[in-house]
Chain A
Amino acid sequence: MKYIDEYRDKELVKQLIGKISSVTTKEIALMEVCGGHTWAIQKFGIPSLLPKNIRLLSGPGCPVCVTSKKFIDQAVAYSRLHDVIITTYGDLIRVPGSTSSLNVEKSRGSDIRIVYSILDALQIARENQSKKIIFLGIGFETTAPGCAAGILNAVKDNLTNFFVYSSHKIMPPAMSALIDEGVKINGYIAPGHVSVITGSSIYTGIPEKYGIGCVISGFEPTDILQSIYMLVKQFESNNYCVEIQYKRAVKPEGNIKAKEIMNQVFTLRDDWWRGLGTLKNSGLGVHEKYCAFDAEKMMQVDVEETKEEKGCICGEILKGIKTPNQCKLFAKACTTDDPIGACMVSHEGACNAYFRFSK
């Protein structure tokens, strides 16, 4: 397959492994903070190819995994309203809330539909004028502009039955918070899709403040290996900076139009991250100007008290302090069939990827 197979070339992979092996001399820990990277690293078996002194850690890059339980509880409460249709990306429906999940509510008769894009949700709103359509907005800078564009479309079409329940978050505060909390890493494999939108400048502070490398990586095996090579070189030469490996998609300035739309429709607010707690200015709430489309403002609902699970170490896993197999629940009480923590639910979650690919 053109534009895919070239990046999965076995010979190229071998050469890259050779290059990495020739420059690496010390123990090094690198963290990926994008669920897509976690997934690709495990799917292609990259850890099995790397020299033993290179350790890859999965950070809080899976949007589903960092979403708070309270968000799920509130989405569950919305789904129980008789005149509501919930539209959501597929990953979210299996995430356990305090006592239920969207999947369970669906089986009990709630109208919950998986969509690929907010545009599908808008279409459902146009076709179901007597219902209120709530789109569950999750994800980082990657999905937030699309969600913002959806709201602008709803304005244009004068839709009065379309709402967004936003849990959108932005990446840089979490990347800083991890190191502030003492997570020991020597470099970030920075998120490719997020950077397509934001550009590379959002990471500038990381090498400056923390003295670690930051390479924006693509998602194919050769992309990831080249990024690891670049990070190892930075580490070995003690010369840290932000580099773009994923040059075919990421420009230093990012996607200016997408950023404008995102800034127009959303406003920064403090947000709660699973495992990291509340991080200042890390979430995106719907701007007051567009409050007619903000589910939180327009639709009051009773939400059950949030109950946190006991024994789940999602937080430490998301911080890269522990690996999934160090959790007492892993592969015993918490499995992909019956997940306890969100990290076990999404394909991009660290526990899920570990469970499926290297249990």
Chain B
Amino acid sequence: MDTHILLGHGSGGRSSHNLINDLFIKYFNNPVLMQQTDSALLNISSSNIAFTTDSYVVDPIIFPGGNIGKLAVAGTVNDLAVSGAIPRYLSASFIIEEGFSIKELETIVSSMAEEAKTAGILIVTGDTKVVNKGKCDKLFINTSGIGILDEKHKSISTGDNIKPGDKIIVNGTIADHGMAIMAARNFGNFKTEIKSDCTCLNHLIKEILDANSSVSFMRDATRGGIATVLCEIAENKGLGIEIDESKVPVNENVRGICELLGFDPFYVANEGKILVIVPDEDADRVVSIMQQNVFGKHSAVIGEVVNNHHGKIVLKTLIGGKRIMDMLAGEQLPRIC
């Protein structure tokens, strides 16, 4: 077997065929994929389907706590799960730069298979393209996913049921993924043990929903961090939101590096964090359900929906002051002093 990806691996000929059999089919192995039909033939007995897609271009492709493959599975699974759907099937398309190490590709594909297995979903169709050296950065992955949606959960992703008094819950420490990536890029020249929180959260979410909790809204707080998700809800729904900074869990080492580099953890990316908005009377129960799951141990109520300053988020700061929390403009840039 070749050690590096050649243009021929994407030609559709013998090398493509071998790569698919020796790698993708070997790891993603399941009855739907094994049919090797042009389209995956699925048997879904539901009139409500959730469907989503996302592309993954993270640099570096392997980072503490995960890699681009794990991220590509978890990201799409989470997008389905936060909509209230049960994730079932994924597609996976690979755009690979000529010369990429097949061993590294195998590491990534195997971790995708592992994450899919943990999440209980099947990768049923896919595609491989190889581009000339320099035309992409090592490896890009696109995944699309289908999930089954129960009628009663349809309003979870729209947020139509959010009302003043609802409590806002996060399932653990924020900003881990973004700072792990910064460290892996050697940004600021520091060494740290921060790991990305990249993981599938569909089981955690199922536990919340199975307990008959009346969830008003759920969303994963990826790019732009929890601040961006909160701003979107506040602006789109004309809701007032109050967040208590002292209640938001942040790992000490993440806080330290954010302080040092001038980053605000509220805007830093997560890949295993969701915001759950529930009626006041359900909040304590939902938090305790979440805390029993390994990915929700540090769940906490961080704020609430209020009936004033509509469309805006007011942050109660650590020292007891108040200020507006707004969307981030452009990239977060390091401050000069």
Chain A residues near B (Cβ < 8 Å):
1, 4, 8-10, 13-14, 35-36, 39, 42-49, 63-64, 89-91, 93-94, 103, 114, 116, 138-139, 142-143, 193, 221, 335-337, 339, 346-348, 355-359
Determine, out of B142-150, B283-291, B323-331, the stretch whose residues face the partner at the interface: B323-331
Beta-carbon contacts under 8 Å, B52-87 to A: none
Determine, out of B99-107, B214-222, B254-262, B270-278, the stretch whose residues face the partner at the interface: B254-262
Determine the chain A residues whose CB is within 8 A of the CB of B17 once the complex forms. none
Query: What's the tally of chain B residues with a CB closer than 8 Å to chain A?
Result: 29
- The one of A43, A143, A359 that contacts B326, using a Cβ cutoff of 8 Å: A359
Determine, out of B36-44, B90-98, B204-212, B314-322, the stretch whose residues face the partner at the interface: B314-322
- The reply to whether the CB of B333 lies closer than 8 angstroms to some CB of chain A is yes
Whether A43 lies near B323 (C-beta < 8 A) is yes
Whether B334 lies near A45 (C-beta < 8 A) is no
Contacts A63-B336, A64-B336 given; does A356 touch B326 at CB 8 Å:
yes
8 A-B residue pairs with Cβ-Cβ distance under 8 Å, sorted by A, are A4-B259, A14-B320, A35-B336, A91-B336, A221-B321, A336-B330, A337-B329, A359-B326
Determine the chain B residues whose CB is within 8 A of the CB of A221 once the complex forms. 318-319, 321
Determine the chain B residues whose CB is within 8 A of the CB of A335 once the complex forms. 329
Give A46 to B320 CA distance when docked, in angstroms: 9
Determine the chain A residues whose CB is within 8 A of the CB of B246 once the complex forms. 10
- The one of A1, A42, A336 that contacts B329, using a Cβ cutoff of 8 Å: A336
Whether A44 lies near B329 (C-beta < 8 A) is no
Whether B259 lies near A348 (C-beta < 8 A) is no
Whether B336 lies near A1 (C-beta < 8 A) is no
Give A35 to B337 CA distance when docked, in angstroms: 8
Give A337 to B329 CA distance when docked, in angstroms: 5
Give A347 to B333 CA distance when docked, in angstroms: 9
- The reply to whether the CB of B252 lies closer than 8 angstroms to some CB of chain A is yes
Contacts A46-B321, A356-B324 given; does A94 touch B336 at CB 8 Å:
no
Contacts A1-B256, A8-B319, A43-B317 given; does A139 touch B324 at CB 8 Å:
no
Closest CB of chain B to A356's CB: distance in Å? Answer: 5
- The reply to whether the CB of B335 lies closer than 8 angstroms to some CB of chain A is yes
What 3 pairs between A and B have smallest CB-CB spacing?
A45-B321, A336-B329, A90-B333
Whether A10 lies near B330 (C-beta < 8 A) is no
Whether A114 lies near B333 (C-beta < 8 A) is yes
Whether A49 lies near B256 (C-beta < 8 A) is no
Chain B residues near A (Cβ < 8 Å):
188-189, 246, 252, 255-256, 259, 261-262, 264, 315-326, 329-330, 333-337
Give A39 to B323 CA distance when docked, in angstroms: 12
Give A221 to B315 CA distance when docked, in angstroms: 16
Whether A90 lies near B329 (C-beta < 8 A) is no
Determine the chain A residues whose CB is within 8 A of the CB of B264 once the complex forms. 43
Contacts A1-B252, A43-B317, A116-B188 given; does A89 touch B323 at CB 8 Å:
no
Whether A1 lies near B319 (C-beta < 8 A) is no
Determine the chain B residues whose CB is within 8 A of the CB of A116 once the complex forms. 188-189, 261, 334
Given contacts A93-B333, A346-B335, could you give 16 more A-B pairs where the C-beta distance is less than 8 Å? A8-B319, A13-B320, A35-B335, A35-B336, A36-B335, A43-B264, A44-B317, A44-B321, A45-B317, A45-B322, A45-B323, A63-B336, A114-B333, A335-B329, A336-B329, A337-B330
Give A179 to B291 CA distance when docked, in angstroms: 58
Whether A142 lies near B321 (C-beta < 8 A) is no
Closest CB of chain A to B207's CB: distance in Å? Answer: 33
Closest CB of chain A to B325's CB: distance in Å? Answer: 8
Determine the chain A residues whose CB is within 8 A of the CB of B255 once the complex forms. 1
Give A139 to B335 CA distance when docked, in angstroms: 11
Whether A48 lies near B322 (C-beta < 8 A) is yes
Determine the chain A residues whose CB is within 8 A of the CB of B336 once the complex forms. 35, 63-64, 89-91, 138-139, 143, 346, 348
Whether B323 lies near A114 (C-beta < 8 A) is no
Closest CB of chain B to A321's CB: distance in Å? Answer: 24
Interface SS of chain A: helix, strand, loop or mixed?
Answer: helix
Determine the chain A residues whose CB is within 8 A of the CB of B321 once the complex forms. 44-49, 221
Closest CB of chain A to B82's CB: distance in Å? Answer: 26
Determine the chain A residues whose CB is within 8 A of the CB of B326 once the complex forms. 336, 355-357, 359
Whether B330 lies near A94 (C-beta < 8 A) is yes
Whether B335 lies near A347 (C-beta < 8 A) is yes
Whether A347 lies near B262 (C-beta < 8 A) is yes
Contacts A1-B252, A43-B317, A94-B333 given; does A359 touch B259 at CB 8 Å:
no
Q: Which chain B residue lies CB-closest to A89?
A: B336
Closest CB of chain B to A7's CB: distance in Å? Answer: 9
Give A154 to B154 CA distance when docked, in angstroms: 63
Give A346 to B189 CA distance when docked, in angstroms: 23
Determine the chain B residues whose CB is within 8 A of the CB of A64 once the complex forms. 336
Closest CB of chain A to B59's CB: distance in Å? Answer: 15
Whether B320 lies near A49 (C-beta < 8 A) is yes
Closest CB of chain A to B35's CB: distance in Å? Answer: 45
Closest CB of chain B to A71's CB: distance in Å? Answer: 15
Give A1 to B252 CA distance when docked, in angstroms: 7
Q: Which chain A residue lies CB-closest to B188?
A: A116
Determine the chain B residues whose CB is within 8 A of the CB of A103 once the complex forms. 330
Q: Which chain A residue lies CB-closest to B335?
A: A347
Closest CB of chain B to A237's CB: distance in Å? Answer: 27
Q: Which chain B residue lies CB-closest to A220?
A: B319
Whether B323 lies near A13 (C-beta < 8 A) is no
Specify which of B264, B322, B326, B335 lies most central, judged by the most chain A CB atoms within 10 Å of its CB: B335
Q: Which chain A residue lies CB-closest to B318?
A: A8
Closest CB of chain A to B264's CB: distance in Å? Answer: 8
Whether A91 lies near B335 (C-beta < 8 A) is yes
Whether B315 lies near A45 (C-beta < 8 A) is yes
Closest CB of chain A to B130's CB: distance in Å? Answer: 25
Determine the chain A residues whose CB is within 8 A of the CB of B188 once the complex forms. 116
Whether B337 lies near A142 (C-beta < 8 A) is yes
